[in-house]
Structure 1
Amino acid sequence: MAVPTGDQAGVIASLGLTQPSLVTFEVAEEVIDADSHRGFSKEPQGRPRVYVSPELDGWTLVIGRWCNPCDGGRSDEVLRMCVELSARYGQAQAYYYGAQGDGSAWLIAERGSVVRRYCETGEGEDHYLTLGEPLPFERARREQLGLSPTWDAATESDEDEEEWSLATYGMAPEIAAALSISPRDLTAETRTRGTGVLALTPPRDGHTGTSLIGPAAG
């Protein structure tokens, strides 16, 4: 998830995260990767952990599979969280990218409303998660591929559908880089303020917070 703020404490509170502990990005990456390859029941207290970054070029990132906008069991909750965060901070985005060819997904919310959600992971239910109109980035990419910038998945030819599916499989990091910041593009030149933390997510049957918890810290 990406939120245009340096208010790390506010993001943590809004998402209902607990037990934040200072950690380097390298250590957090190992922990998050380990959590991603085992079931929730095998994680600490049966709850996944996420990394909440320091301010990076004006953005705060929340990294972990808990943020996946196309997860079958959490897609509605991730959408709600992004909507609430966007009401507070103006924007909020969530992305999924499977580096082993598992597809991409993106969710863009602005000022308390969903702008776009799109998933391409090879799952049969992906199309049910589509919301909003294609992003300018999507339209431009389709034009580059020689496809119509506006389309209806129900009537698109099989050939065009397959070409678009292949293109979108790796598109999430590109959209993140274009609209906010991608963790894949962080360098020594990235402006950083603060320290990242590893935090525990709320109980699965609990509320993750509200969009207006406490004053903004920065």
Structure 2
Amino acid sequence: MDIDLVRDLAVPEQRAAAADALVALGADGVARLVREVRDEASPVDSRQLAAVLGRLGRPGFDGLLQGLVSAPTDEARRRVGFVFTALGEDALAWYTAALAHPLPLVRAAAVRGIQRCGEGARSATTALLPLLGDPDDEVGRQAADALVLQGERIIPLLRRVREQGPGRQRARALTVLAELGGEPALSDADRAAIERLIRLKLPDDRPEPLWACWNHWIAVPSGDQAGILRTLGLTEPRPVTFALGNDIVDADGHGSDTSEHDGNERVFVTPELDGWTFVLGAWCDPCGEERGADVLRLCTRLSARYGRAQAYYYGGQGDGSAWLVAERGTVLRRYCETGEGEDELLTLGEPLPLERARRAELGLSPEWDAARESQEDEDEWRWAAHDLAPDIARSIGLSPLDIGVDTPSRGTGVVALTPYGAARGVPTGAYRI
């Protein structure tokens, strides 16, 4: 085949004629098209190649499958895999048959192809279920993800797997059930088994540092977990390991695919850690428009009871910092630096000692003076303050980002419902225990 005919797919005014000519060649042109897909230097968009190979039907599918198996490099395999999974519903029956291929690489790609078939993927449900027990972890995870996209209609099928097996499918069936329907989707036996597993792990559970993309927490210098729960209006506390509590906080912080949940429905309340108790979760945000005023009120109340209370935000991906410090019922300081236009409107009280010291290190006046401060000085401080929340927490207490297996711990952590969660429930999801 003339190489120019394939390369004409990259030329807008020649693309349609070239595609028709390539389709007219039938199976004779498949090998050349697949080589073009594998070519990292190709000027042809992969979507154009996928469109032509899709029009070629079964020869195009088989050629891509062979190209996937024989790809010499990871990049070539990635390129062929993308086109292989983009053939659409016309290839659904072939994808379904490929789920039984001996190579995990092909099985995983076939699952992704089915995922991209939209509503048509529903007809492949029964073929996907056995892959929950696939010996290859990647294939099993891919199958679980594909089944989650099928929605709640498959919950009865998954419950049947949990009850009747096969045994190798049961573990991932539980994960998919949790993702689709949360705890209400689980049987009484499964809920009891999970609670039993948590109880078995708790005696040996050790502190793990909080680390999420968006970290929000309230810190109280007390081990009175029950009193802190009551003061904050948190309900239905349930014992959890550190891994489970942190995983829930991280997942909730990323929000939900629906407008029903926004991550404010539950929090992880730690056991006493070196004299401190932490309440972790987006509900603790001291600077957000929705929660800022209430967090200030709650920290004031906590500080009146326990002497001090603090709230923090730290964006782990460079998304800024905020801190709120209250003592004996009075707010001493609130400061926010997230890059939002009205951060300065949240500022309350006088700078903390560490703020002054950090400004001095930067060669700036420890005292803010808007009339004298240049734009360059202001920008330099803002960049420094952007990541300052963990240092502030360390300087006046303890940061949950720093705790670890050696941190003194007393009691058991719990996940509890906020008033939002009590009113509207919690997001679904599967979490590590």
**When the two structures are superposed, what TM-score results if normalisation uses the length of structure 1?**
0.89
C-alpha separation in 2, matches of 1:37 and 1:70: 17
Match in the other structure for 1:186: 403
Tell me which of 369, 372, 390 is aligned to 1:152.
369
Unaligned runs of 5+ in 1: 207-218
Tell me which of 414, 426, 433 is aligned to 1:197.
414
Match in the other structure for 1:78: 295
Structure 1 residue 98: deviation in Å? 0.3
SS in structure 2 of the partner of residue 87 of structure 1: helix
Match in the other structure for 2:325: 108
Residue identity opposite 1:19 in structure 2:
E
C-alpha separation in 1, matches of 2:350 and 2:284: 22
Match in the other structure for 1:26: 243
Match in the other structure for 1:117: 334
Match in the other structure for 1:216: none
Match in the other structure for 1:140: 357
C-alpha separation in 2, matches of 1:108 and 1:115: 6
C-alpha separation in 2, matches of 1:68 and 1:77: 9
Structure 1 residue 42: deviation in Å? 3.6
* Residue-by-residue CA offset, 1:29-60 (whole Å, 9 max, x unaligned): 1111111111594439x852111010011010
C-alpha separation in 2, matches of 1:178 and 1:23: 29
Match in the other structure for 2:277: 60
With 89-98 and 156-165 compared, the bigger mean Cα shift is at 156-165
Q: Is the 8 A contact 1:41 1:47 kept in 2?
A: no
Relative distance call for 1:143 and 1:55 in structure 2 (3 A) is: same
Residue identity opposite 1:105 in structure 2:
A
Kindly indicate which of the two structures has a greater share of residues assigned to helix.
Answer: 2
Kindly indicate which of the two structures has a greater share of residues assigned to strand.
Answer: 1
Structure 1 residue 138: deviation in Å? 0.3
Structure 1 residue 61: deviation in Å? 0.3
SS in structure 2 of the partner of residue 19 of structure 1: strand
Structure 1 residue 182: deviation in Å? 0.6
C-alpha separation in 1, matches of 2:422 and 2:336: 25
Residue identity opposite 1:133 in structure 2:
E
**When the two structures are superposed, what TM-score results if normalisation uses the length of structure 2?**
0.46
Match in the other structure for 2:261: 43
C-alpha separation in 1, matches of 2:330 and 2:371: 25
Relative contact order (alpha carbons < 8 A, sep ≥ 6): 1 or 2 greater? 1
Residue identity opposite 1:115 in structure 2:
L
Percent same amino acid at aligned positions? 62
C-alpha separation in 2, matches of 1:139 and 1:205: 42
Unaligned runs of 5+ in 2: 1-217, 424-433
SS in structure 1 of the partner of residue 305 of structure 2: helix
Structure 1 residue 25: deviation in Å? 1.2
Match in the other structure for 1:171: 388
Residue identity opposite 1:43 in structure 2:
H
Structure 1 residue 109: deviation in Å? 0.1
Larger Rg: 2
* Residue-by-residue CA offset, 1:68-100 (whole Å, 9 max, x unaligned): 100111111000000000000000000000001
Residue identity opposite 2:404 in structure 1:
T
Aligned length: 205
Relative distance call for 1:203 and 1:163 in structure 2 (3 A) is: same
Query: Are 1:90 and 2:90 matched, yes or no?
Result: no
C-alpha separation in 2, matches of 1:202 and 1:182: 26
Match in the other structure for 2:345: 128
C-alpha separation in 1, matches of 2:317 and 2:295: 23
Q: Is the 8 A contact 2:265 2:421 kept in 1?
A: no
Structure 1 residue 187: deviation in Å? 2.0
